Amino acid sequence: MTEKITKLQRWLDLIAFLIGRRYPVSVDQIMEAVPAYAEGRSDDPTAVESVRRMFERDKKELRDLGIPIETVDYTVRGAEQTAGYRLAGRDFYLPYLRLIGGGTDAPTAEPGAGGTQRADAFDIRPGEARDARDALSFAAAMPSFLLREEARSALRKLAFDLGPGRPDAVLALDRPEAGLVRDRLRVLNDALQARKRVRFRYHGIYRGKPTDRDVAPYGLLFLGANWYLVGHDALRDAERVFRVDRMEDPEPNRKSPDTPDYVVPEDFDLNDYRNREAWELGDGEEAGLVARVRFDFPTSLWVERNRYGELAESAEDGSTVRSFQVQQVNPFLRWILSLSGEAEIIDPPELQREYLDLVERVAALYAGDR
Amino acid sequence: MAAELASRQLERVLYLVPRASGPDGASIAELAAEMEVSPERILRDIEEVTARDYYHPAGWVADLQISVEKDTVTVWTTGELRRPVRLSPREALALALGLRLLADGSEGRRREELLSLAGRLDHGLASVPAEPMTAVFALDGGDPHGNGLLALVRNGAAERSRCRLAYLKPGQTEPEGRLVAPYALVFSRGHWYVIGHSVEADAVRVFRLDRVLEAEPTAETFEIPSDFDPADYVEEGAVFQAGEEVEAVVRYSRSIARWISEREEVEENPDGSVVVRHRVADPRWIVRHVLSYGPEAEIVEPAEMRDLVRETVAPERHAGG
């Protein structure tokens, strides 16, 4: 009979049994009440062991999904204390979202509406409700956002009490590879949360052959359009940054899943990597240099507004000189070139020479036209 | 895979049951649309739940009774499962990161409010607070370095109020003042764009957010025309100014073909290079685009755009950047 019971049915039976009980229940009571665990009460020790393991796995997977099955010690009628299980309604059900402060554009839920009431109430102002909805809509709209589906399902839950809200004016254009990136991000995030090492093949752009990497993930970084993994790279024995869309088949270390492989150093701060450009991130393959670049007005305003580099000098004509920490020369030079004459490298000379070389190689592509 | 499937099924069922437990039930088509699965998937989920009746012992009182009539599903419960469950750890993480993205585009007190709200919602609505999981993320929502522009324009779009922009087009000597009704914000290829009605041009225009030097809200309100559709300004993942575009053919070298192929519709050449046909409204955009790839990208046609690259690069050969 138990072969016919699916995992979903088994889980539902367990949840339905636990949520309907005010007091903790023993494992024997669970074995009796949940049909898929029936053999857990047989005389066959192997079958009992197998079912108990199944119950332990179910409990863990449900807890990972956010079903808060508690293990509690309890006593019945003065008997010896024993371990039992409980699923408390207030921890299980979403609290009633009660709009306060007036000015609402959405229906107000009252405890009691929609069913029984073992859920708490949660007071929220209309502006906060809008912020929460906007945050989830925004996350759901971001290309390659790691938890896009979860942002949408959270929105559905909030809409239960708050209504659907206004359609968001944000539209995101997903790249064709966005689904792949999300899949890789899930692997990386799971590894990161469990502190497990990850192996993958990495394709550095403008670099030669792909390399196999073994990385202890320290953090995930979303900059503009791209996700990056920051971590300790065994190949280089140093901290490195990897673009997630350039990874192939990231695989976590599956040995001892409950034991961390490493510790993130105390002095590591992921925020050090925020607000950086591609040439500032680099992957540590090149020695860094400081470049000084002049920008004419009004490009100087645009550069300042977007906080590219550090201001070094300002002139009366509105032009500025800014200094840049360059970790990767190639992307930096290509960025300067894309400014089409609105920027001039003034230092160091070797960077000027590399820039001229780049310009000549581009000019050569168009040399035969005339 | 089986575990993942069961977890998704469970999430759907724990949402479906409270949604359909009202007196009028819920439309299967609507449930399917809300959960982004097929109606058949919803029916299979329901079937699996109702099939529990067959293996439970006689005398067992069904905790869930589900009826399906035409396209409506109605659920009766013993009193439990009529509320959605708390946010799962991943949903809570999505909410926390979403609020941090909004905070990233805000300044001062507003930023503090959003971060504080993130903490309150996390502890109030999640089954397990996501806060410890958020430490491994750093997010930049695309607002030009946290200037608050994105939040300001989003607010204008939400409140239907015009914004005054100082907009600097590439190659211009002065920023232009524009009074804009932001109809939609579009994120494409690493940049945010505002699609909106420009009072000065009396037409819909596209503005790239990092080219906005200053912005301020105004009290002037607007309505979005019923025939406005942001999709009219989008093609193959790129934003363009409708009605003014020409085709530019660009060849990308073999060394970067892999990356281009992942994000564009490409035609492959025997030598491993790829060709992309871009729709271009502003020739300066395509020039900057190919230059950003150095010698790895080349405009093949039209000839005028090749000329433009040559003219752009010529002074650089003497000036040194």
Q: For the segment A138-186, what is each residue's pLDDT rounded down to a tens digit?
A: 888 776 678 888 999 999 999 988 887 766 666 666 666 677 888 899 8
| Mean per-residue pLDDT, A214-228 | 85
Which B positions 201-230 lie with beta carbon below 8 A of chain A?
210-211, 213, 230
Q: What percent of chain A has pLDDT over 70?
A: 86
Q: How confident is the model at residue A238 (pLDDT cuts 50, 70, 90)?
A: confident
**What residue in B sits closest to A91 (Cα-Cα)?**
B127
Query: CB-based contact (8 Å) between B95 and chain A?
Result: yes
What are A143's strand-pairing partners? none
Picking from B7, B55, B316, B317 by the largest number of A CB atoms within 10 A of its own CB, the best residue to mutate is B316
Q: What is the pLDDT of residue A119?
A: 63
- Asked whether residue A2 carries a pLDDT value surpassing 60, the answer given is no
For residue B141, give the chain A residue with the closest CA.
A224
Let me know: does A224 contact B140? Beta carbons within 8 Å: yes
pLDDT confidence of residue A176: 62
Rounded to 5°, the CA angle B104-B108-B110 comes to 70
Angle at B132 between CA B127 and CA B138, to 5 degrees: 120
pLDDT given for residue A283 in this prediction:
57
Which H or E run includes A61? helix A45-64
In whole angstroms, how large is the CA radius of gyration of chain A?
A: 29
Pick the residue of A184, A366, A369, A370 with the most B CBs within 10 A to test the interface with B by mutation.
A366
Q: What per-residue confidence (pLDDT) applies to A294?
A: 94
Element spanning A229, H or E: strand A226-233
Chain A residues in contact with B11 by the CB 8 A cut-off are 65, 153
- The contacts of residue A187 (CB under 8 Å, 6+ apart) are A198, A250, A251, A252
3-state secondary structure of B179: strand
Which residue from B158, B51, B193 is spatially nearest to A9, judged by alpha carbons?
B51
* Separation between Cα atoms, residue B276 and residue B284, nearest integer Å: 17
Distance CA A81, CA A77 (A): 10
Of B83, B175, B238, the CB nearest to A93: B83
Of A138, A301, A366, the CB nearest to B101: A138
Check CB contact of B189 with chain A, cutoff 8 Å: yes
- Residue-wise pLDDT for A325-345, tens only, equals 888 788 889 899 988 778 999
Averaged pLDDT score across all residues of chain A: 84
Q: Give the least confident one: A126-130, A307-311, B94-98, B239-243.
A: B239-243
- Chain A residues touching B92 at Cβ < 8 A: 66, 154
Can you tell me the distance from the alpha carbon of B205 to that of B155, in angstroms, rounded to the nearest whole number?
Answer: 19
Q: What is the pTM of this model?
A: 0.77
Question: Taking a C-beta distance cutoff of 8 angstroms, is the pair B72, B83 a contact?
Answer: no
For residue B13, count other CB atoms closer than 10 A to its CB.
20
* Residues of chain A found within 8 Å of residue B180, distances taken between Cβ atoms: none
* CB neighbourhood size of A287 (10 A): 9
Question: What is d(CA A331, CA B215) in angstroms, rounded to the nearest whole number?
Answer: 30
Beta carbons of B124 and A95 less than 8 Å apart: yes
Tokens of A40: 């857990």
A301 — phi, psi (to 5°)?
A: -65, -45
Cβ count within 10 A of residue A171: 18
Task: Write the CB contacts of B211 (distance below 8 Å, at least 6 apart in sequence).
Answer: A302, B167, B168, B169, B170
Nearest to A224 by CA among B107, B138, B278: B138
What does the alpha-carbon distance between residue A78 and residue B145 come to, in Å, rounded to a whole number?
A: 64
CA distance linking residue A231 with residue A216, whole number of Å: 5
Query: A interface mutation test: which of B159, B187, B259, B288 has the most A CBs within 10 A?
Result: B187
Phi then psi for B196, rounded to 5 degrees?
-160, 170
Using a CB-CB cut-off of 8 Å, the residues of chain A touching B259 are 205, 245-246
- Closest Cα in chain A, distance from residue B18 (Å): 7
Contacts of A354 in chain B (CB under 8 A): none
**Local confidence band at A105 (pLDDT 50, 70, 90 cut-offs):** very low
Backbone angles phi, psi at B291, to 5 degrees: -65, -30
Please report residues of B whose CB lies closer than 8 A to that of A352. Answer: 320-321
Instruction: Show residues of chain B in contact with A91, CB under 8 Å.
Output: 86, 127
Instruction: Reduce the DSSP state of residue A261 to 3 states and report it.
Output: coil
Q: In what order do the strands lie in the sheet with B297-301?
A: B267-268, B274-280, B246-252, B297-301
The residue behind tokens 């599903």 is B73
